[in-house]
């Protein structure tokens, strides 16, 4: 028997809890998150413990429901459940029984909910969709990840989000007037990932006040942000994505923080004649979404750039007019 099989059931429960938590970070923007996250947790567990005697315990703590019967059983017969993913067209709602208080990871994106259920007080990860965003003020204070891919979040609700929130993903933020763009200053200071999935209207004033510790900013389809907005993004940002923008120009790229590792400016029509040397030195992934011949290369200072720059040059050298 291998050494890792000597882990007690109590200790194994703690191990599984850490695996469940790790599945939420880095947060994966995915329309089928309950299935993919469940599969990720399952793979991680069996990679670590391929012949484990704790398989039964694992499936008691990590549950993915595809019908109402499975969901009801999970809520009634699994008092120590850690992960619950719900997905299935035959499931019309939650059972009358309260959700297990032991839950730390709950994915209800597969359900169409008019209201929000009573949530476990120690919940850390929640994926849910609901129409009334006023309900966001009733979320557990312990939440670290909130994913609402089809929900339009009213800007005035921002100040009521859980204070420990680290990842926020919504379809868009709705603003009743221009002044509400400044409400970004009320986002939780702990936030390090902000993801807007749909067409949105956040502008330069919104970016001016986002938390300075933000590492990931995925803005999606946006034609309101200008060069001024790029000037004020957090200096520790590591990932930036903006799509279908006609106002951001190439000259502003030299002001991007050098901490940036992933840059996706997809189908931004004003980005022409980009100088590779203006890109952040630590960049690892570059996606412009169109013909790479728009890049203008200069090789004199290339040695001081990252390996990505050499790959870019090797890729487009036959096409570029130097």
Query: What's the confidence (pLDDT) of residue 110?
Result: 73
Residues 173 and 197: beta-carbon distance below 8 Å = no
Which of these, 36, 37, 43, 68, lies nearest to 58 by C-alpha position?
43
Query: What's the confidence (pLDDT) of residue 321?
Result: 38
Burial of 321 (0-12, 13-18, 19+ CB in 10 A): exposed
Sorted by sequence, the CB contacts under 8 Å of residue 101 that are 6+ apart come out as 120, 121, 122
- Confidence label for 300 from pLDDT (cuts 50, 70 and 90): very low
Other C-beta atoms within 10 Å of 88: how many? 16
- Confidence label for 226 from pLDDT (cuts 50, 70 and 90): very high
Which of these, 254, 295, 301, lies nearest to 271 by C-alpha position?
295
The share of the chain scoring above pLDDT 90, in percent, equals 31
Q: In the numeric block, which tokens belong to residue 29? A: 């923007």
Please determine, for residue 206, whether its predicted confidence score (pLDDT) is greater than 80.
Answer: yes
Please determine, for residue 305, whether its predicted confidence score (pLDDT) is greater than 50.
Answer: yes
Place of tokens 């947790």: 41
Query: What's the confidence (pLDDT) of residue 312?
Result: 57
Q: What is the mean pLDDT of residues 225-229?
A: 95
**Lowest-pLDDT choice from 14-23, 68-77, 197-206:** 68-77
Model confidence over 136-183: pLDDT tens digits? 767 899 999 998 888 888 888 888 899 999 999 988 888 888 889 999
Buried b (16+ CB within 10 A) or exposed e, 222-244: bbbbbbebbeebbeebbbbbbbe
Strand partners, 287: 264
């Amino acid at each position: 028997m291998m050494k890792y099989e000597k882990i007690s059931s109590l200790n194994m429960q703690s191990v599984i809890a850490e695996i469940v938590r790790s599945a939420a970070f880095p947060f994966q923007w995915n329309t089928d998150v309950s299935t993919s996250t469940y599969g990720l947790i399952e793979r991680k567990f069996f990679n670590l413990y391929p012949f484990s005697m704790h398989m039964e315990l694992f499936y008691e703590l990590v549950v993915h429901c595809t019908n109402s019967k499975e969901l009801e059983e999970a809520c009634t017969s699994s008092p120590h459940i850690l992960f619950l993913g719900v997905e299935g067209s035959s499931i019309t709602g939650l059972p009358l029984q309260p959700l297990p208080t032991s839950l730390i990871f709950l994915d209800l994106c597969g359900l169409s909910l008019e209201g929000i259920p009573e949530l476990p007080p120690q919940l850390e990860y929640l994926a849910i969709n609901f129409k009334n965003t006023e309900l966001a003020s009733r979320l557990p204070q312990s939440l670290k990840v909130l994913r609402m891919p089809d929900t339009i979040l009213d800007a005035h609700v921002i100040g009521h989000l859980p204070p420990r929130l680290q990842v926020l993903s919504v379809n868009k933020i709705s603003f009743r007037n221009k002044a509400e763009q400044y409400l970004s200053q009320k986002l939780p200071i702990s936030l390090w990932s902000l993801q807007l999935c749909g067409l949105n209207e956040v502008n330069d004033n919104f970016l001016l006040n986002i938390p300075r510790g933000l590492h990931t900013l995925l803005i999606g389809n946006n034609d309101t942000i200008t060069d001024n907005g790029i000037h004020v993004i957090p200096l520790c940002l590591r990932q930036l994505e903006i799509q279908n923008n006609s106002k951001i120009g190439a000259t502003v790229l030299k002001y991007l923080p050098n901490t940036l590792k992933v840059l996706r400016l997809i189908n931004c029509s004003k980005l022409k004649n980009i100088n590779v040397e203006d890109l952040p030195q630590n960049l690892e992934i570059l996606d412009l979404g169109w013909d790479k011949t728009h890049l203008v290369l200069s090789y004199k200072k290339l040695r001081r750039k990252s390996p990505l720059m050499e790959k870019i040059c090797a890729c487009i050298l036959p096409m570029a007019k130097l």
